[in-house]
């Protein structure tokens, strides 16, 4: 395979299946399933090959001029591989989950077509080599996820879709304006380690600060930074595979990843500190972490509680990259992967409770651990990981974030992390108590049986595997190509002169 064109093949592995799936009639279940799974497996293989070549120091990119002064640029670098690897692996398991979840449902070709288009957009975001290309795929992601949010077609789903579009289109406008300001100032901006703007004259610094604010506002909508997070709990009316996609693979992660790119590869961490941009971002992230956790405490709907948990947990990424120092960077970057693995596990489990027992509320989960032990074990592992219990993945993230706060001379951030973990425990442990320690007091609303299995195998396999990943990412953190080691590689490249 042509090494230079490898990013294009990675993108095409979900874009081409999307086009084909749109054309398939509803009755072609076997062909659609084979195409979905085959494309997902192929993408994992292509991303693994691309990551291996990047680790060996090879350059893979695709470039052509879209309009004078603006190139379309796909590039495989360590940062791109970080996000592309997460998206490829979780797309595979979310595809497996969605096949089982939508069994017998209408409009499956439409769903899986937009599902594949959404992942193609996410891959484009990951592999974008400049701001213009990033903006293109970032907006395509908005358009491709809207049909998934409103898939059920109910009035509640349509209302949630309107809220989603209002927020994301507004954020996209802010992002476009920020990109236009920078393009007018310096032309086409490529993502480069140590940043592309560090040599700009001091007379332009006020403009750069304005542009940074616009970029973070635009990206902060999808990253669910307070007060731009209102769309996320509303979008929980979507099917469980969409919720998993929004929270762990695509939309929320695209916003967080975009903030990482802007801070490190557009402005550069040193230059961002010189412009005094990091402390405001630290404060916004800290407020979001605590606010999301507080709101989660009061939610009885399981998916809404998980949604506010996402508002809190994703801001660990912004917090880490806003701490000046490589250790905080490692904490933020590794949490981008760890949060995705843990949160997708929790949403898979929430979907299993809903599909198998008809349960959507935490108050209805009493005794469900005995009825669905594997699902409940997976949920427990994801919850303990979010709290930060060692040796799970979440502990590794919080450990490095805490060390990063000390390295940056900001010990107050430790208080934020400790309080957040206490709040995490306060909204997750009552769920686990209901699952494992309370007897079932009423029949479940719409319980279904699946023979000797607690639920459909399509629904059970993904959370079990991602729960194992949650354990492995913590226990094997020092192994080569682990999320932690890849984050350390990126941090070294971003801080080396």
> What DSSP letter does each residue of 270-336 carry, written as one string?
HHHHHTT-HHHHHHHHHHHHHHHHHHHHT--BHHHHHHHHHHHHHHHHHHHHHSSSHHHHHHHHHHH
Question: How far is C-alpha 354 from the geometric centre of its chain's CA atoms?
Answer: 23
pLDDT at 4: 60
Three-class secondary structure of residue 293 per DSSP: helix
pLDDT at 241: 83
Domain definitions of the chain by residue range: 298-497
State the sign of the Cα–Cα–Cα–Cα dihedral 131, 136, 141, 143.
positive
**Alpha-carbon gap, residue 463 to 255, rounded angstroms:** 24
Kindly provide the residue ranges of all beta strands, DSSP E only, lying in 265-423, ordered along the sequence.
none
What was the pLDDT predicted at 24? 84
pLDDT at residue number 3: 55
Sign of CA dihedral 147, 150, 153, 159: negative
Residue ranges of the chain whose pLDDT lies below 50: 497
């Amino acid at each position: 395979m042509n090494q230079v064109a490898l990013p294009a093949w990675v993108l095409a592995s979900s874009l081409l299946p999307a086009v084909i799936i749109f054309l398939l009639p509803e009755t072609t279940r076997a062909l659609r399933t084979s195409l979905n799974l085959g494309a997902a497996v192929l993408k994992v293989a292509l991303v693994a090959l691309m990551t291996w070549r990047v680790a060996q120091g090879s350059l893979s990119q695709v470039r052509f001029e879209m309009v004078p002064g603006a190139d379309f640029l796909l590039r495989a670098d360590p940062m791109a591989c970080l996000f592309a690897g997460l998206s490829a692996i979780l797309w595979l398991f979310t595809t497996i989950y969605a096949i089982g979840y939508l069994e017998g449902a209408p409009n499956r070709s439409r769903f899986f077509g937009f599902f594949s288009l959404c992942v193609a957009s996410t891959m484009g975001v990951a592999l974008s080599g400049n701001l213009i290309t990033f903006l293109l795929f970032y907006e395509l992601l908005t358009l491709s996820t809207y049909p998934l949010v409103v898939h059920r077609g109910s009035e509640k789903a349509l209302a949630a879709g309107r809220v989603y579009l209002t927020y994301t289109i507004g954020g996209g406008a802010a992002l476009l304006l920020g990109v236009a300001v920078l393009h007018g100032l310096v032309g086409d901006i490529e993502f480069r380690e140590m940043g592309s703007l560090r040599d700009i004259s001091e007379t332009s610094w006020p403009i750069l600060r304005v542009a940074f604010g616009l970029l973070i506002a635009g990206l902060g909508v999808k990253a669910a930074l307070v007060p731009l997070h209102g769309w996320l709990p509303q979008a929980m009316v979507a099917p469980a595979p969409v919720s998993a996609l929004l929270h762990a693979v695509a939309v929320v992660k695209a916003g967080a990843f975009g903030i990482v790119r802007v801070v490190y590869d557009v402005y550069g961490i040193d230059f961002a500190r010189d412009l005094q941009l990091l402390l405001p971002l630290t404060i916004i992230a800290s407020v979001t972490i605590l606010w999301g956790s507080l709101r989660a405490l009061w939610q009885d709907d399981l998916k809404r509680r998980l949604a506010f948990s996402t508002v809190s947990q994703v801001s660990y990424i912004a917090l880490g990259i806003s701490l000046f120092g490589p250790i905080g960077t490692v904490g933020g970057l590794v949490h981008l992967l760890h949060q995705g693995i843990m949160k997708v596990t929790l949403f898979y489990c929430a979907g299993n409770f809903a599909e198998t027992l008809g349960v959507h509320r935490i108050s209805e989960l009493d005794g469900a651990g005995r009825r669905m032990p594997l699902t409940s074990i997976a949920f427990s592992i994801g919850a303990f990981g979010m709290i930060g219990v060692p040796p799970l993945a979440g502990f590794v993230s919080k450990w490095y974030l805490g060390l990063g706060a000390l390295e940056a001379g900001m010990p107050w951030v430790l208080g934020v992390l400790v309080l957040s973990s206490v709040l995490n425990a306060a909204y997750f442990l009552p769920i686990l108590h209901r699952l494992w320690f309370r007897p079932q007091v009423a029949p479940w609303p719409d319980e279904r049986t699946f023979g000797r299995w607690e639920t459909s195998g399509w629904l059970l396999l993904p959370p079990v595997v991602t729960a194992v990943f949650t354990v492995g990412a913590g226990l094997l953190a020092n192994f080569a190509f682990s999320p932690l080691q890849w984050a350390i590689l990126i941090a070294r490249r971003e801080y080396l002169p």
